[in-house]
Structure 1
């Protein structure tokens, strides 16, 4: 979709900021860290448990949004003599700072994940760690879990290792800058190889039947002391970077499966009814989907900048519901063991500063790669992790969606009664008069109701704003 913005500034944003504070209270979001947690974090920041292996000679770099300071991953990419590639991928070693069973550990289990709001970020770990001593900031020596993945010329992993190491990032890059450097041919080889390896991994994803949805994202952006909404279609560099993380998550899953103990990120195969619903949506959107064409192949052929295609990609997210975490011990193969969208065993292991489970999968993988036993503090926590992560993920999703609802309402509160051009991107099952519309300008996605006829999925329609009141009512449109 077009990237167009509307924003709130100055006193117009005061009510929104108050509504966001009320939202955090309603959701029970943790506020300040307790004094004993902060004290432990500050002590740990001054004296982490450091590894013996020194890999600071590797010229690693990070790729993150420009304002990010909680940097979980850094990479270095190189060609291997004789063909193929070597990927070094450093992941922040949070376990070097957290003592199992201590106040910092208990607080992380209470918070589970970092929460993002338009006006502030509620971190998993205190700032002295998440924005300081544990973050892979440039020109800072840090403890990390250093993955080494040797790939053949087609991008397949031939050998995998992970160990604790001291690392030192040389540069903090952002997606727009990376894309520009690669497109203009000014990127040095370690960065230029991101495109080569990323595209090879995308080809392997197609081969195994996996799928990455290139859905335009609605985003909240800070602007002149207020906020604005926009749509952001991911850049190719986003996808290439994601492939490095996916590859590491797959390698981690394989290590744990071979060791017989671990926790996987799993997603069951979508039921036939869900795929049938997508076929009906494709027909309504006038998207040609021959029966011999697999779902993943169709999705890769779509252009997210075309409204009908963007609407269908939004519908495709329904197949990703039901993801969870599966623990296995004693050498038993878990069921399910595969993430249906990845089309392979997979786990979360690359964002330990922002997600609790990644600290545990990292520890499991280090032990597996070394042929060592799993630490007792990891084994004792495994059984509860799926429930903890599910609760944390639900809270994070609710916080994100309700934050967007509040911003939308604040942006539109003075425009009740106005008409807008929109595209119907969803129609509720069994209720053809209720659905969702996506406006191009302003960048709003909201509920729509029709008094009749049925909402035309994928069609351009004219809608009238019925309500928009931050803090009391979500945005609601009526078919004009």
Structure 2
């Protein structure tokens, strides 16, 4: 979701954009707060919550997140083990705070996930839980599901298990702060080793990802600003430490999938490989934007060649989402499904590291812990398996609609002062109707403009893969609409 975490700077000059974004909550009927019975249950559960054994507070865990985050799902401690490594990855113990069948359980099933709009967040759980008792704050003992994953010298997994335990983070780091500490060698001794090993393990896991044909979308954080009378996007390029951090999460999701496959019960995050049409469309775009994707390179390897500090490369990274489609949740109990892999990961994979923000992770954690202990999987977790795919599909659909609306709003704001201007644009796809290309004077074709780097539609039947001259004739931020027409009858190339 490329624009999900855009921050909108509050100023009088941006009120039209801010108001349009604020209206998204009402338009999409997003939840507003939690009912009293939910809040009462949360208060009771928090008051009676007990920390589990074993006590692992002697391990110096740290969290690495966006600096303003308060819902801290993960904490890590990394150490050497001979010529290999041990990854200790603590995940917020949400299951112990959500009684099965209670008001909070029902409400989280209704929501499915936390939904983001620029400058606003609709949380999956009430804040006393998600930004309080269950969040892995520094210097405060917390209940967690602690993964212990052993790696060989090359970073490949040799074993994995998970159990509930009490942990304590010793530092809450932002990405830039952690990167600066690593680069300068100024991290405190208590966690300098974890930062050093994060780079070492992360680099090795990236190499393994390349070898198996996996791909990662590393989209920079973005912020809308208003400078000299125009809306502009400011981009914060992704940091290496964000990539390394993501590899630990991917590792854990793959470990969770392995445990559930071996136990023949659970729910996987699956996705088919991209189809030929999507690949062909993306290849055309890479050519026009000056960074051709050769046929001898896997798409995961190609994405890692993109420098997102370059506007055209950034546009290509966003456009690569067309290759990551068809993801679903696949439950099973007793018989393994035919589809086991997630194509972007290029391996079996499960969502398990973000239970404060995503419903399905709560169930995966409980299932994996039971399997690790050779215990019966909780009945409440098994009972939810068939229901979870629909819940998550519906919530993902809503999140995507909200995200698309936010994108359209921001892009309309960016183009507001360009009305009457002309641009070179690459035609990504011709007009379609009912899944088939249609020839119609009223049809619209999908286009990509490089500066500013936005996607839009242009009236007319345009040839995919060509570069055409287009004119922006209208923009409406409130309606999040832009209108382009051809400025010339012949394509540029």
TM-score (norm. length: structure 1)? 0.88
Report the counterpart of residue 475 of structure 1 in structure 2.
482
Offset of 1:126 from its aligned partner? 0.3
Bigger mean CA offset, 68-77 vs 392-401:
392-401
Contact 2:7 2:118 (C-alpha < 8 Å) held by counterparts: no
Offset of 1:475 from its aligned partner? 3.3
Offset of 1:314 from its aligned partner? 3.6
Contact 2:419 2:472 (C-alpha < 8 Å) held by counterparts: yes
The correspondence for 2:381, drawn from 378, 383, 389, is: 378
Are positions 1:355 and 2:358 aligned together?
A: yes
Report the counterpart of residue 195 of structure 2 in structure 1.
191
Local SS of the residue matching 2:342: coil
Distance 1:228 1:310 in 2: 15
Report the counterpart of residue 458 of structure 2 in structure 1.
449
In structure 2, the CA distance between the partners of 1:291 and 1:372, relative to structure 1 (3 Å rule), is same
Contact 1:420 1:439 (C-alpha < 8 Å) held by counterparts: no
Offset of 1:404 from its aligned partner? 3.1
In structure 2, the CA distance between the partners of 1:36 and 1:17, relative to structure 1 (3 Å rule), is farther
In structure 2, the CA distance between the partners of 1:476 and 1:61, relative to structure 1 (3 Å rule), is farther
Distance 2:106 2:49 in 1: 18
Distance 1:421 1:273 in 2: 26
In structure 2, the CA distance between the partners of 1:229 and 1:273, relative to structure 1 (3 Å rule), is closer
The correspondence for 1:231, drawn from 229, 235, 238, is: 235
In structure 2, the CA distance between the partners of 1:203 and 1:445, relative to structure 1 (3 Å rule), is same
Report the counterpart of residue 435 of structure 1 in structure 2.
446
Offset of 1:174 from its aligned partner? 1.0
Are positions 1:364 and 2:375 aligned together?
A: no
Contact 2:8 2:119 (C-alpha < 8 Å) held by counterparts: no
In structure 2, the CA distance between the partners of 1:424 and 1:174, relative to structure 1 (3 Å rule), is farther
Local SS of the residue matching 2:448: strand
Q: Note the aligned Cα RMSD (angstroms).
A: 2.9
Contact 2:256 2:349 (C-alpha < 8 Å) held by counterparts: yes
Report the counterpart of residue 490 of structure 2 in structure 1.
none
Report the counterpart of residue 332 of structure 2 in structure 1.
328
Report the counterpart of residue 74 of structure 2 in structure 1.
73
TM-superposition CA deviations, 1:244-281 (whole Å, max 9, x none): 00000000000011111000000012233333444444
Local SS of the residue matching 2:216: coil
* Count of residues paired in the alignment: 466
Offset of 1:49 from its aligned partner? 4.3
The correspondence for 1:242, drawn from 240, 243, 246, is: 246
TM-superposition CA deviations, 1:187-235 (whole Å, max 9, x none): 4121121110000000111111111133456555899xxx974333322
Distance 2:289 2:11 in 1: 41
Report the counterpart of residue 207 of structure 1 in structure 2.
211
Report the counterpart of residue 302 of structure 1 in structure 2.
306
Offset of 1:283 from its aligned partner? 4.5
Report the counterpart of residue 38 of structure 1 in structure 2.
39
Offset of 1:14 from its aligned partner? 4.2
Bigger mean CA offset, 11-20 vs 255-264:
11-20
User: Unaligned stretches of 5+ in structure 2?
Assistant: 1-5, 432-436, 488-493
Report the counterpart of residue 84 of structure 2 in structure 1.
84
Once the two structures are superposed, the pairs formed by residues 60-459 of structure 1 within 5 Å of their partners are 60-80=61-81, 82-187=82-187, 188-216=192-220, 218-220=222-224, 229-285=233-289, 287-330=291-334, 332-410=335-413, 412-413=415-416, 415=417, 417-419=419-421, 424=426, 426-428=428-430, 430=437, 434-438=445-449, 440=451, 445-449=454-458
Local SS of the residue matching 1:89: strand
Local SS of the residue matching 1:336: coil
Offset of 1:467 from its aligned partner? 2.7
Distance 2:226 2:173 in 1: 20
TM-score (norm. length: structure 2)? 0.86
Distance 1:113 1:47 in 2: 25
Contact 1:419 1:462 (C-alpha < 8 Å) held by counterparts: no
Distance 1:85 1:454 in 2: 53
Contact 2:288 2:426 (C-alpha < 8 Å) held by counterparts: no
1 or 2 for the larger relative contact order (CA 8 Å, sep ≥6)?
A: 1
TM-superposition CA deviations, 1:97-132 (whole Å, max 9, x none): 110000011000011100112232110000100010
TM-superposition CA deviations, 1:368-398 (whole Å, max 9, x none): 1000111111111110100100110111121
Contact 1:118 1:222 (C-alpha < 8 Å) held by counterparts: no
Distance 2:27 2:14 in 1: 20
User: Unaligned stretches of 5+ in structure 1?
Assistant: none
